[in-house]
Amino acid sequence: MNILKSIFLAGGLLLAGLVQASVKLPSIFSDNMVLQQNKVIQVWGWADKGETVEVSFQNQTRKVKADKSGNWAVTFAPQAHGGPYTLDVKGKSNRLSLHDILIGEVWLCSGQSNMEFAVKNANNASVEISRANNPQIRSFNVTKAMGSQPKNDLEGRWQVCSPATVADFSAVGYFFALNLYTELGVPVGIINSSWGGTDIETWISDTSFNELPGQFSKRYEGKRIDNVDQFQQDNKSRKEDYLKAMDHDPGISGKWFSSAETDVAAWPTMQVPQLWEGLLGDVDGIVWYSFLFDLPKEDAGKAAAIQLGPIDDNDITWVNGQTVGHTEGYTMNRQYNIPEKVLVAGKNQITVKVTDFSGGGGFYGKADGMYLVVNGKRYSLAANWHYKPAVTNKQFNYVELSPNVQPSLLFNAMINPLTKFQIAGAIWYQGENNAGQAYNYKTLFPALINDWRKQWHTEFPFYWVQLANFQAKDADPVESNWAELRQAQTLTLSLPKTGQAVITDIGEANDIHPRNKQDVGRRLALIALRKTYGKTDLVYSGPTFRSMEIKGSKVVLSFDNIGGGLVATSKYGYVEGFTISGKDKKFVWAKAYIDGDKVVVYSDSVVEPVAVRFAWANNPDVNLFNKEGLPAVPFQTDGWKWSTQY
């Protein structure tokens, strides 16, 4: 009996040890972390209800009891930069010790893919990585996650900057931090919480989003998910069936690319180019397109080239049943060569299999960017194409859960857990995904900034990257979603403690992810060094429009932030990128030249000008700078209705 009693007693003690909770810290607290200098340091975590927790840091010790929900928090007096230090946390059953802690400047880095873009993909990556022996710079990469409700923790860990770790740091964040560290000489920590291809709405808290006018929530009506985890579990089997069907495309087995096998004339038609959502709704998957066209006898059998513009996401293209090319990636122009003897006299057929994984699908370029060239002739391919869905998510009642299906999913999982952690400020690179709703961005962007400041209970500095130049050059002035989004970003400078890095000179026409992240980080750092750290001798912005004066047929523009003076980086000193309009609101290319600290703009075809725009295009010509090498900020002088204002 005594032996049995001892066994039961030992078992009871073991069970008690198993159910007893350990004191725990959120993931943002780990070895190698950086804490914000000169601000109250808050440390928090979880333990058993009523458990006493002892926290020691820098010769200060705090004791606190966990509340009825197991939450506890302590604060320490502000500290000057320095380190390395140790943080000790002791509960009733365990003890945590965090080592190599630095105190310095901490910046939150957020946005979509251009913030997520890693050092290993930037210009001169191998050189940058090899010389990244910067142990005073630390990075915390937040693991991607979504939440239908605000979460109190996230995943990730702090890493010391070295050639072994820096490759996966945010490139913009790293080069920003490197410039700060070089100038300030204090430790710098960056928290990279970003996710490619995301709308701004998913980064705004539910509370703030629900305070916006009603039109902002209409696109989500009837689509909200109450429990993301449960939704993913229920969706799993449907996703498996859908992906299996994608691997067994009936269009391939049925030879839809062959006119001998398939009568595409029976398929419905849609005008191309356009994203298929306009006709099919919110659909992902595989859709086939076919276009029938006639060629005269003299063009038959000749080698040719086909231009289809960008396609979202992937494509395989056939001409008369013969494969001529395939491409993966929604930013790439489709240009394929057609060998001799493929084209025939009379009826010819182009067939394109388009696979889209999320967001918009199909052809989304410009009409003049779709054509066939053969025998020195150009045939337009912008027309009604036949189409047929092969495999779609709707067929399987499957919805790809992405951060954009409803607001706040990324705020809840990737921002909210950080709001108790003191930061110096935030840098932001996002907007590409919202370009089609640029007018709404005038409301959404300030709402996000105000929201985050409210969550942190402080009006911290918030600096961002304006959209780069991207896509083909325009032959004539046209309305531009990207220009309107840039203007929405510029208008947000009306908020206090904000700044904007302009990069319309370093983008890439064929790549939405320009690789020169060094200058992006440097320009953001110039803003922070001037506005946050008081380096008043630094020029942090390119020329910004101040006012205009109409003198006869010419417009004279005045600028702020001209630094050492205005310069035009061209052989003849002409200023590019200006358009001008009369009362008819029809913009034409303008001539422009620098006159001292002003720019004079005119056009022989506009006798009575009323408005001027600068760099108002997806991919504008930009050669107006100040002598410090910073480009002029795109602008419009008119207040006319935007193309994205519905």
Residue 412 pLDDT: 98
Residue 228 pLDDT: 84
123: CB partners within 8 A, 6+ apart: 515, 516, 517, 518
Q: 405 and 384 share a domain?
A: no
Per-residue pLDDT tens digits for 230-262? 888 888 889 999 999 999 999 999 999 998 899
d(CA 110, CA 451): 14
Q: Please indicate whether residue 646 or residue 353 has the higher confidence score (pLDDT).
A: 353
Task: Give the CA distances from residue 121 to residues 116, 464, 506, in Å, rounded to whole numbers and listed in that order.
Answer: 11, 21, 16
- Residue 310: give the domain boundaries: 249-396
Q: 146 and 181 share a domain?
A: yes
Q: Is residue 360 assigned to a domain?
A: yes
Is 555 within 8 Å of 609 (Cβ atoms)?
Answer: yes
Q: Measuring CA to CA, which residue among 294, 415, 290 is closest to residue 353?
A: 290
The answer, yes or no, to whether residue 2 has pLDDT greater than 60, is: no
The answer, yes or no, to whether residue 204 has pLDDT greater than 90, is: yes
Which of 370, 396, 422 marks a domain boundary?
396
Q: 325 and 383 share a domain?
A: yes
Q: Is residue 214 assigned to a domain?
A: yes
What value does the mean pLDDT take over residues 491-510?
96
Q: 168 and 283 share a domain?
A: no
The answer, yes or no, to whether residue 223 has pLDDT greater than 80, is: no
Q: 313 and 342 share a domain?
A: yes
Cα torsion angle, 413, 419, 425, 431, sign: positive
Q: 362 and 421 share a domain?
A: no
Is 293 within 8 Å of 386 (Cβ atoms)?
Answer: no
Which of 341, 373, 396 marks a domain boundary?
396
Q: Looking at the 3D structure of the chain, how many domains does it have?
A: 3
Q: 409 and 390 share a domain?
A: no
pLDDT bin (cut points 50, 70, 90) of residue 366 is confident
Q: 256 and 392 share a domain?
A: yes
Q: Is residue 44 assigned to a domain?
A: no
The answer, yes or no, to whether residue 616 has pLDDT greater than 70, is: yes
First to last CA, the chain: 84
Residue 527 pLDDT: 98
The answer, yes or no, to whether residue 5 has pLDDT greater than 80, is: no
Q: Is residue 413 assigned to a domain?
A: yes
Per-residue pLDDT tens digits for 174-192? 999 999 999 999 999 999 9
Q: 502 and 569 share a domain?
A: no
Per-residue pLDDT tens digits for 373-424? 999 999 999 999 999 999 999 999 888 788 998 999 999 999 999 999 999 9
The answer, yes or no, to whether residue 512 has pLDDT greater than 90, is: no
Q: Output the CA angle 239-242-244, nearest 5 degrees.
A: 110
Report the mean per-residue pLDDT for the chain: 94
Residue 229 pLDDT: 83
Could you tell me the pTM of the whole model? 0.83
Amino acid of residue 440: N
Per-residue pLDDT tens digits for 265-323? 999 999 999 999 889 988 999 999 999 999 999 999 999 999 999 999 999 999 999 99
Q: 407 and 533 share a domain?
A: yes
The answer, yes or no, to whether residue 1 has pLDDT greater than 60, is: no
Residue 20 pLDDT: 53
CATH code, domain carrying 421: 3.40.50.1110
Q: Is residue 17 assigned to a domain?
A: no
Question: Strands (DSSP E) along 329-482, which ranges?
Answer: 333-338, 346-356, 362-363, 371-374, 377-380, 383-392, 425-429, 462-465
What value does the mean pLDDT take over residues 37-62?
97
Is 643 within 8 Å of 479 (Cβ atoms)?
Answer: yes
